[in-house]
């Protein structure tokens, strides 16, 4: 076949919704895209993946009937600054076969899905990005970051005689998956109402993360779960962790490591107690924290914070604003002020000039013809929305234009938050 004829065939790639009977092949394509070469999957594995996929808006790219691209999106809620749940179009399972890469297939799937999300009235879109450079071009900005620490327990200065929470009546119990499914969802709902950046979890999340959907392809190793109850008996925290169990130094000094899989706490007392608990397990000398907010309490709970070494730092939740007015009115602002934002959006979904009048009591955002104070791309607005990005820094980086002297400082005083946003989940 000539090069010209080959190019015409490539252009024939069709992007469309995936029919139910096509889902097993689509799921295999997703796995291949993430470098899992499943030639044949058991029915259980297909059922496992199917349960993670539905209900979703599932797109496939097909070349002569073969699935060469995958993409799905589903309804999610993201907690805005101040606690309001905001409806998002969560994007996941994005792959294009190495045989068909860099021919615009992702761009086609993304353009169609974002246009539908906008049409439906979703306020924003979200994703975790496999690689940093992929999604900025589509208007997504890195809205939350995460840090992982590894605690050298013997150097931490924590009291090795610790035997439980300080608060009288509070307690920590080791529980099993049934207890987690019983108490976890309600605890998490309280947590997500209180922390900006957290995304909603569905019922499947709790089944999947307590081993109820294990298959040979997706094996399960049971973790430990510790549940914290406050003085009133109410569940206020949960930590899931795994440990090694037979690591010894040359002179039989124990060398086990604990890895925290997830921690949810709705009170500072619960958070402090659960970290102290994990760092006080006999024979455990190092604790990997899992992905936490960069301003997490953990290092400063230790008498010697240097015992917590940063072992990872990365962008996490990416946000793409689809509706500027509703996104900016959904969140709260610490101060009072006005800024006019000129927002560029090459996809034509959210661009325009908007005037934000914010007070701690409420905010209004309206299209305007007033002179712009700040000129920015919708990607930058995504980075600012949860309060994490510094506008002054974006100006210094040349990404935001400051048209009125001092406007960046005004925007920072309005948008930034006293605690950084945190999204504990990857989806």
Site for ligand ACO in 122-151 (CB under 6 A): 127-131, 133-134, 137
Give yes or no for residue 103 binding ligand ACO (CB under 6 A): yes
Side-by-side strand order, sheet with 317-321 = 14-17, 57-63, 66-79, 85-96, 124-128, 317-321, 141-142
Neighbours of 372 (CB within 10 A): 20
**Cα 415 to Cα 151, 360, 371, distances in angstroms:** 33, 11, 20
Q: For the window 106-125, what string marks contact with ligand ACO as x by the rule CB under 6 A?
A: xx------------------
Nearest to 50 by CA among 68, 26, 83, 16: 26
Is 135 catalytic? The answer is: yes
Side-by-side strand order, sheet with 284-288 = 171-175, 224-229, 235-243, 256-265, 284-288, 145-152, 308-315
Q: State which of residues 18, 59, 87, 105 lies at the interface with ligand ACO (CB under 6 A).
A: 105
Give yes or no for residue 96 binding ligand ACO (CB under 6 A): yes
Q: Which is nearer to ligand ACO, 104 or 231 (CB)?
A: 104
Q: Which is nearer to ligand ACO, 135 or 191 (CB)?
A: 135
Is-contact 279 153, C-beta < 8 A?
yes
Give yes or no for residue 102 binding ligand ACO (CB under 6 A): yes
Q: Which is nearer to ligand ACO, 123 or 125 (CB)?
A: 125
Identify each DSSP E strand in 80-211 by its residue range.
85-96, 124-128, 141-142, 145-152, 171-175
How far is CA 169 from its chain centroid?
34
Site for ligand ACO in 18-37 (CB under 6 A): 33-34
**Catalytic residue of the set 74, 135, 138, 333:** 135
Q: State which of residues 16, 101, 300, 313 lies at the interface with ligand ACO (CB under 6 A).
A: 101
Residue 318 C-beta: closest distance to ligand ACO, Å: 8
Q: Which is nearer to ligand ACO, 59 or 127 (CB)?
A: 127
**Interface residue list for ligand ACO (CB under 6 A):** 33-34, 91-96, 101-107, 127-131, 133-134, 137
Residues with a catalytic annotation lie at 135, 427
Q: Which residues are annotated as a binding site for acetyl-CoA?
A: 94-96, 102-107
């Amino acid at each position: 076949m000539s090069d010209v004829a080959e190019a015409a065939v490539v252009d024939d790639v069709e992007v469309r919704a995936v029919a139910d009977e096509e889902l097993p092949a689509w799921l295999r394509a997703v796995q291949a895209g993430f470098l899992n070469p499943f030639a044949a999957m058991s029915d259980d594995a297909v059922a496992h993946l199917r349960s993670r996929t539905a209900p979703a808006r599932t797109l496939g790219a097909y070349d002569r009937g073969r699935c060469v691209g995958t993409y799905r999106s589903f309804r999610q809620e993201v907690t805005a600054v101040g606690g309001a749940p905001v409806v998002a179009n969560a994007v996941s399972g994005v792959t294009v076969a190495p045989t068909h890469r860099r021919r615009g297939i992702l761009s086609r799937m993304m353009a169609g899905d974002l246009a539908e999300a906008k049409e439906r009235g979703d306020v924003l879109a979200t994703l975790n990005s496999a690689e940093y450079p992929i999604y900025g071009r589509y208007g997504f900005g890195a809205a939350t970051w995460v840090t992982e620490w590894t605690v050298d327990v013997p150097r931490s200065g924590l009291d090795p005689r610790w035997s439980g929470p300080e608060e009288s009546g509070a307690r920590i119990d080791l529980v099993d998956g049934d207890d987690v499914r019983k108490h976890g969802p309600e605890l998490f709902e309280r947590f997500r109402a209180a922390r900006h950046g957290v995304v909603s979890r569905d019922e499947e999340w709790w089944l999947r993360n307590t081993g109820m959907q294990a298959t040979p392809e997706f094996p399960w190793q049971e973790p430990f779960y510790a549940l914290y109850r406050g003085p009133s008996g109410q569940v206020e925290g949960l930590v899931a962790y795994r440990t090694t169990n037979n690591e010894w130094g040359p002179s039989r000094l124990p060398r086990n490591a604990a890895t925290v899989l997830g921690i949810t706490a709705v009170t500072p007392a619960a958070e402090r107690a659960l970290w102290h608990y994990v760092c006080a397990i006999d024979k455990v000398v190092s604790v990997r924290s899992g992905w936490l907010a960069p301003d997490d309490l953990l290092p400063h709970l230790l008498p010697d914070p240097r015992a917590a070494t940063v072992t990872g730092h990365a962008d996490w939740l990416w946000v793409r604003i689809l509706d500027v007015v509703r996104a900016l009115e959904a969140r709260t602002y610490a101060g009072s002020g006005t800024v006019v934002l000129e927002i560029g959006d090459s996809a034509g979904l959210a661009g325009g000039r908007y005037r934000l009048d914010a007070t701690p009591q409420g905010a209004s955002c309206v299209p305007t013809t007033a002179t712009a104070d700040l000129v920015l791309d919708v990607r930058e607005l995504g980075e600012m929305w949860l309060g994490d990005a510094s506008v002054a820094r974006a100006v210094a980086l040349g990404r935001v234009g400051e048209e009125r002297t001092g406007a960046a400082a005004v925007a920072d005083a309005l948008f930034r938050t006293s605690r950084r946003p945190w999204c504990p989940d990857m989806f």
